[in-house]
Structure 1
Amino acid sequence: MNQLFLLDNTYFQKTYAGWMGKIIGIRMGSPIEGWTHEKIMETYGEINYYKSEYNDYAADDDSNGPAFFIRCLSDFSADKKPITVEQMGETWLNYVSSHRGFFWWGGYGISTEHTVYENLKAGITAPRSGSVLQNGLSVSEQIGGQIFVDSWGFVFPANPSIAADYAQKMVSVSHDGEGIVGGRFIAACISAAYCASSIAEVIQKGLLTIPETSHYAYVVREIIDFYKKDTKKNWKRCLFFVQATFGYDKYPGNCHIIPNAAIIILSLLYGEEDFGKSQMICNSCGWDTDCNAGNVGSILGVFKGIEGIEQKWLDPIRDLLISSSVIGNLNIDTVSNTAQYFCTLGCRMAGVSLPEEWAERSTISGRLFHFDFQKSTQAFRTSTDNVSIENCERAVIPNHRSLAISVNQASSMNVFVKTFYTPEDLSDSRYDPSFTPILFPGQSVTAVLMNIGSSKIEVSLAVYDLRNKTTYSHMISLEPQATGTITLKIPRIEHGLINRFDLTVFSASRNLEDLTVLLDSVLFKGNPEYTIDFDREMIQNYGFGHSGLHQEISQFSQNGGLWELEGTSLSGSCAVEGEAYTGFYETRDVKVSCTIQPKLGYYHLVNFRVQGAARSYAFGFYGKNTIALVKKHNTYKVLEQIPFQFNMEQKYILSITMRENRILASIDGKTVFEYNDIDSPYSYGQVGFTVLNGSHCHFQHLDFSSITNQQ
């Protein structure tokens, strides 16, 4: 890898463009996914723009995979050893909810990802979990081998062979044969696009990373040869060649990798290095349009940079990324923040320091919204007529970009960010998203901005609770050309669920004036302090989505089991295992308490420092007449336990205080365990509930309280 390249801001900007290109391609292809070329042409003609107007675009498997599978590099970094295929398989189990969201749950032996998840849960570790020997050739060579690998190209820029090697490891969790070859090729092409001089060069560098004798390589060479001989450069002629030679009827399964690989190469070549034209061709060809257009978007985005993507493609995206992992707090994000995460990993994997302008902002704790990616808006939007929101090179703080917010002849203007989503906010439920808020009572919000208008202004912040409670900050005044910082400390709110943060600018005179501010950043920070009472929560009904009837408990995500609201309780039951999670993902030192009421069975637990479905602590009843403190790493392990006779239908208050690696656990005010975890401790995470082995429990009044160093 070229370290000088990494030390340049160009790496960050190109990665953002590549990831944005991926999201654009997914959104453009989703409404026609699985359609034939003939059906597309009959219905729409050539696909020159988005064919569905979404409120906000919901989660998709094509972005879920790249966004979450790459997290294995962070999750296992403490080992200071090369990442293994087995650990990559554990990453699947950590971020994928059982039979819910993330990807297509089409049935064992039908959906590759469903098949592999069942294998992993059954203890069949990677790479056997995705092998031909385990699953057969058809399942092992479906398209998933190449649609989830984009982030390996982003993390290993200008180094196609290394990007391909890491992609192969992850792909081997779920695929084999040509599926692995395709994963290597796409990751290598994305990596090569950072420094290539042409798309032809990108493809050639991708070919160098896969076996020359593979069928995948043969198909790529055949498309290249057809393109070179096609003097009229008519993409439809090439499509007809692909349909006749490499069509779906030539390969097993419902979505084989080879026909779609041919469409990707066709689109890259005939698109003539134009982002919009390449997307038009790719989507007009049909078959797995969102997958193919997503990969094409990643390659072209990196190659062209954000300047090569017209604004018309960016505006409907809003820089927003919604996912459907098992961690609801991570399912509300932005394209910008995810791209920065990729780049931070890329620098670490290369053993180089972050560029100076990115170093400080990459290490800030909390949820930071900044605008250093060109054209980034961090999902800010407006509720005021005629307000302009535009990424701006002019800086509030030297060496950083800003968000220019302006309006002509108005007495005020407003921008806001959604901090929680409901079914009404989204247009579909294709991959079953679930959400925990990204801002909580007890936290603080800080905004840094500059008044570049000609008149004095006043600025205020506000947060809105879903139940119509509003908390306002004090107001600050800014003279023309003045810079200011404003902070809102959100108080403890009983039953709090914050769904929106607002920044409002007023003309100090309240007269009609031209208003313009530069927003440098907004930071959500601190430990939450609030309660959840389940008679205030709601069933969120998304209707029939990709996986059937989709319902969620507000501000919770689920992993197996049956979860329902019953009066003042959250009812959880299961056959084998059921878990539900909520709260701030980066919660560290905090006290959590909850009332539990066992109904049936012997396993009733409150989880804490939940980092996913595979990693957490839990405290509660763990076996007949037993109370225990347990730690989960794929399966639960007892840390400490003592005899305790508990009764069905009786209520017990469980409390856990976490400070660094020390855990204090009590029941009904009596301390039961004091434990200091020195064996790869979990230092942060959400909270949640667990029932096991046929148990049924009611959970009531979940309370989050901050702790101080003196406690």
Structure 2
Amino acid sequence: MELGTGYSSGHYDAMRPADLLYAEVRQRRETGYDVDELVREANRTDPADRVAVLDLVDRMSLAARLPGWKYVEPDELDDIQETLGALPEAVEVTEVADLADKIHAAWLGRIAGCNVGKPVESGDYWTSARIRDYLTLADAYPLRDYVPVLDPMPDGFELTSCWPETTRGNVKGSARDDDIDYPILALHLLETHGSRLRPEDVGAAWLRLFPVGQVFTAERAAYVNLVDGFTVPEVARRRNPYREWIGAQIRGDVFGYVHAGDPWAAARLSYQDAALSHVGNGIYGEMWAAALVAAAFTASSPREVVERALAVVPPQSRLAEAIRDVLALEGSWEDALRVIQERYGHYSWIHTINNAAIVTAALLWSEGDYLTGVGRVVMSGWDTDSNGATVGSVLGILSGTRNLPEHLIAPLENRTRSALFGFDNSVISDLAERTVRLAGRLSEDGLLFED
């Protein structure tokens, strides 16, 4: 039983009831619930009737889970930790200069990787096949630079609206993007709250610093709930069908930067950010991303990074299952991508699980090379700028600043735009220096200010 076409606009807007219902049906089915009767009722309801549609969204929470659900996916931090085996050990980064260089490389690598993916960030349209066709026409396959612009643009291709500032030869400072806004905000939050950070602090900062039009999917749903006076944990759960999508995963990196070499400390702290807007695999995505970058500071290879980060993900979750699947794959990157698309392509192009799978593949098949990893994850499609940022962050750390590609880094001009109030035109090297000052000064009880 499928919803009628009036319920799908393709915009995933938390302020549009028909979008909420469409995505909530999808979310419930992906997590093993029977919603067929509510779908039948929805098809007898006018999609423009806000009150009736929102009532259906709310009643989805009463749906029964079908027999045979095999996953264990808790939301509370203590419950998450109980599912884990041995936690990844912390490995100290002993050289201060090395830590500073890697943190700087992480910021540069993340911001450049994000900009590489931005012109093709529309996973329903820019599939991996269309990206390959376009790059082949542009004599730019495999991708190892910013996406080129073809003039005239061939029929069947349309870059996203940011292309005048994110394509090859047009990058003059980093474009604004939420994949950059959230790391800047995380740094500010940690400078303000340290390890005492809680979801309520994150929510207060959103309302103070973010315009609602610059947050999306789960974050916009959570924002609306905050404005309406709801509190944690209802902020993440009420009328939020995007609660396991990638929004939290893009917010985890800075928690890893400040806990370099300690994946569990990074994951544990990032939970406080993720739990405001996400549940289940949405939370695990941010914890995993934080652990990835933390592990990269002391790992010897991308595979070691992925294996150490996996230890913070509940082992009976769908996210852990997907990452293990990719770790077990053999053959070429193209082979791996095809398997991932077959197994996980049923998720939205903005979901956590499928995007984490292609991030994993890009890292494993990167050969430790920044350009190879970022190029491959962007060519994989789905959430290209978010994944380019995550892979760029990890491989930036593994590479160090000296081995980052000058033709991607120089056009950034050491600055980035931001939608955060008071943080526009942030200086990238300043973000890195502030992160270095913070790294190693966090404790269970808060910031340690002594040198």
TM-score (norm 2): 0.70
2:197 aligned partner, one-letter code: I
* SS of equivalent to 2:426: strand
2:333 to 220, 225, 235: 235
For residues 340 and 90 of structure 2, what CA distance do their matches in structure 1 show? Answer: 37
The question of 1:258 aligning with 2:346 is answered no
The equivalences for 1:42-441 within 5 A come to: 42-45=133-136, 46=141, 47-51=143-147, 52=167, 53-76=170-193, 82-97=196-211, 99-101=212-214, 103-104=215-216, 111-131=217-237, 134-135=238-239, 138-226=241-329, 229-230=330-331, 234-247=332-345, 250-251=346-347, 253=348, 255-327=350-422, 330-349=423-442, 351=448
Q: Quickly say closer, same or farther: Cα 1:55–1:83, change in 2 above 3 A.
A: closer
Q: Which has the higher contact order (CA 8 A, sep 6+)?
A: 2
1:2 deviates by: 7.0
Contact 2:186–2:255 (Cα < 8 Å) also in 1: no
Q: Deviations over 1:513-549 (max 9, x none)?
A: xxxxxxxxxxxxxxxxxxxxxxxxxxxxxxxxxxxxx
Match status 1:33 vs 2:115: no
Cα contact 2:90–2:263 (8 A) shared by 1: no
Query: SS at 1:291's partner residue?
Result: helix
SS in 1 for 2:419: coil
CA contact (8 A) 1:89 1:126 kept: no
Output the CA distance in 2 between the equivalents of 1:6 and 1:92. 35
**Given the superposition, is the C-alpha separation of residues 266 and 238 from structure 1 closer, same or farther in structure 2, using an over 3 Å criterion?**
same
Counting strand residues as a fraction of each chain, which structure ranks higher?
1
Q: How many correspondences in the alignment? A: 330
Contact 2:174 2:417 in 1 (8 A): yes
Cα distance in structure 2, aligned partners of 1:2 and 1:353 = 22
Are 1:150 and 1:187, in contact at CA under 8 Å, matched by a contact in 2?
yes
Q: Which amino acid aligns with 2:201?
A: Q
Alpha-carbon offset, residue 310 of structure 1: 2.0
CA distance in 1 between partners of 2:299 and 2:349 (Å): 34
Distance 1:175 1:303 in 2: 29
Q: Provide the rounded CA distance (Å) in 2 between the counterparts of 1:307 and 1:49.
A: 17
Identity over aligned residues, as a percent? Answer: 28
Report if aligned partners of 2:92, 2:261 keep a CA contact under 8 Å in 1.
no
Q: How does 1:546-557 map to 2 (within 5 A)?
A: none
Can you list the C-alpha shifts for 1:656-681, whole angstroms capped at 9, x where unaligned? Answer: xxxxxxxxxxxxxxxxxxxxxxxxxx
Aligned match of 2:102: 14
Q: Which amino acid aligns with 2:340?
A: V
Conserved 8 A contact 1:14-1:303: yes
1: CA distance between counterparts of 2:92 and 2:449?
9
Secondary structure, aligned partner of 2:416? strand
- Given that 2:91 and 2:262 are in contact with CA atoms closer than 8 Å, whether structure 1 keeps it comes out as no
Q: Which amino acid aligns with 1:162?
A: A
The one-letter code sitting in structure 2 at the alignment partner of 1:129 is: V
**2: CA distance, partners of 1:85 / 1:41:** 40
**CA shift at 1:159, angstroms?**
0.8
Deviation for aligned residue 1:273: 0.8
CA distance in 1, matches of 2:356, 2:343: 13
The amino acid that maps onto 1:238 is A
Runs (5+) with no aligned partner, structure 2: 1-88, 148-166
The residue that corresponds to 1:447 in the other structure is: none
Aligned partners of 1:74, 1:200: CA distance in 2, in Å? Answer: 32
For structure 1, the residue ranges without an aligned partner over 5 or more in a row are 105-110, 355-711
Cα distance in 2 for residues equivalent to 1:6 and 1:174: 35
| Paired residue type of 1:336 | S
| Structure 1 residues 299 and 256: alpha-carbon distance in aligned structure 2, compared to 1, 3 A threshold | same
Instruction: Classify 1:85/1:7 alpha carbon distance in 2 versus 1 (closer, same or farther; 3 Å).
Output: farther
Measured on the aligned residues, the alpha-carbon RMSD in Å equals: 2.0
Distance 1:148 1:64, change over 3 A: same
Asked which structure has the greater CA Rg, the reply is 1
Aligned counterparts of 1:162 and 1:11: Cα–Cα separation in 2 = 17
CA contact (8 A) 1:167 1:187 kept: yes
Report the alpha carbon displacement of residue 4 of structure 1 after superposing the two structures with TM. Answer: 6.4
Cα 1:43–1:143 change in 2 (3 A) is: same
2:60 aligned partner = none
Query: C-alpha offsets along residues 155-193 of structure 1, whole Å, 9 cap, x if unaligned?
Result: 111110010011111011111111111111110010011
Label 1:317 to 1:236 Cα distance change in 2 as closer, same or farther (>3 A). same
**TM-score, normalised with respect to structure 1:** 0.45
